Structure 1
Amino acid sequence: MAAIVESVLQAEAEKNASYKSTEVDKAIELDIDEGNLVAVDLNPINGKHYRSKCQTYLNHLARDNAQILFNAIWQLPTKRVDEAIVAVLPEKKTSVPREKPVPKDQPMTRWEQYAKLKNIHKRKKETMVWDDAVKEWRPRFGYKKAGDEKRDWMLEVPQSADPYEDQFEKRGKAKNERVAKNELQRLRNVARNMKGKIPGVGLTPTDAPDVDHVKRSLAQAQKSTASLGRFDQKLSHEKPARNLGKKRKAELSSTDASAEKKRSLSILEKVQSNRPTLDTAKAVNQLMANEEAKSEGKAEKGQRKGRKGRSESKGDPTKGRGGKGSKKSMGKRKGGKGGKK
């Protein structure tokens, strides 16, 4: 018996020896930020152990630093949340940069304000409910939901209602009206929170509509009929709506050849009317003016050449004194002596 007890104690001692102590000593204390759950180790790395057994050394170093961080967390005050004990983290010491800005708090809807005023808390419904018809648990919504097999094949007609009225259709219309009412309330909340500036198609209801909003709503309501408001009665002082667009009328196809020819000729006239017309008298006058300007330019150019030749002959000292082109040289060639006649 003593041998069995001794072996058990030895095995327990070996098991405890395999686990390290929770107390870790460091030459330089770690810089611990409990708010971010971060511990910074400033101690130098032992190069001898790091080079010989790198992975083992890093594992021991990470274990010791994590143990110091957990020891600091367990020293914080605690509280109970949903049957669990959690530590109350202090304010963060290290500022960590964010990729995106902090989201702004969304304004409360009317229902949220009313629930806060009346101290109404939202309770989460269970996804699975018991179905008495099939005697099994089924999802509350979606495919094969609870009560899916139980369908009303007959409805009671109230005494005050019309006996020939379709009660199924009446129930469907009431449901659609409730859905539309909820959507209307949702749009009102969105418009109130965004001060009426809502992107999208159509007009959304607002608590305080302005004059332009009312005019656009009136114009859309007037054009919601089958005739687009063409035969609706208007007030005596009502002005036509502006900047609401203009629809083109579709041309009806006809088998009459004369009507088709007339329509084609009208299109041709429109095309030709856009082209600039040719004024023959203006074109002839412009052509004659260009020719006269050219002839005057040529005459003036000839006069300039004549003036230039005379000025060159006056300025040359060799000319007129028996030169190559003088009268004396010509007389010598013709008469032989070049004397006076």
Structure 2
Amino acid sequence: MDIVKEVLEKQAKESAKYKSIEVIKHEEVKIDCGRLMISDPNSFTEELKENTETYIQNLTRDNVQLLVNSIWQLPTERLDEHIVVKLPKPTFALPRARKLPVPKPLTKWEQFAKAKGIKKRTKDKKVWDEELGKWVPTYGYQKFKADRDKNWVLEVPKNIDPMTDMFQKKKDLKNERVAKNELARMKNIARAQKVDVPRVGFVSEDSATAKELHIASTIAKHSTASVGKFQESLPKEKNARGIGVRELIPGAATKRKRPLDNKTERTEQIETVQKILNKRPKIDVEKAVQIQKREERIERENKPAEPKKKKGSHPKQVKKFGKKPKSGIGRKGNRKPAGRKRR
């Protein structure tokens, strides 16, 4: 009997360490198994002030126990000797600091390869070169060294200048390909971020088409501060089609303004009118004097020339008088003596 009593006491002590899985709450808690989250609306008791740490530990344990109980109520299945459950869809709208990640958009080549069923193949790191008689890497600076050892001499074609540097020409073609690939890469980035970029033409003398040259010429002509207003054009020259304001003027505003209410629109119109009425014109005195002098000079130049005078001829002078005086009056020698006439 002593042995049985000891076993029962030992079992009672071990069971005292673990609490029951049944948790009683005054108000029902909200459990979201999809997010493994529980929301407890019950208020705190006075025990929180007396023993804070113990109260929080017990509260956390009870809530976690309720969450585990709800998970075990879901349908289970065995997978690789393990019992698993499939969580349902979340019901709680959890806010995020950032937007949800979206899949990376495909490039033009990736879209074409996907449509045509082209699969990406991995290149071998090294291949056997018969001329050099050794293994040569397919990329990297070691590949460049192998090409230099292999193509140590280049033939000059007959249709070009024999003094042409073929090594420099080959280097320029490589730089051109690198620049073209970099331009395509930047366009893919802009397309992924939905950024409008001006279209340009690829003006290579070897691979550019007439359409690309026409587009490049039109964009270059309109790339001035006046948007090509004062650029000279060839006779019967037309701009390339399909080029809009965004491409010719990248900084042009294309967003529509938000419609205003009547009060705000009236206030803005009144402010505009007051600015116009209160604005005083600036008078440039020097510029006004120059304009006046220029007008006088033009008037003198446009004035008809006077006829030349003949030699020995004098112009007739006509003196105008008032009333014709009476005979004898007004002349000094014809005055009659005053007084009575004597015989």
With the shorter chain as reference, the TM-score category is 0.3 to 0.5
Q: Which has the higher helix share?
A: 1
Provide the TM-score with structure 1 as the length reference: 0.39
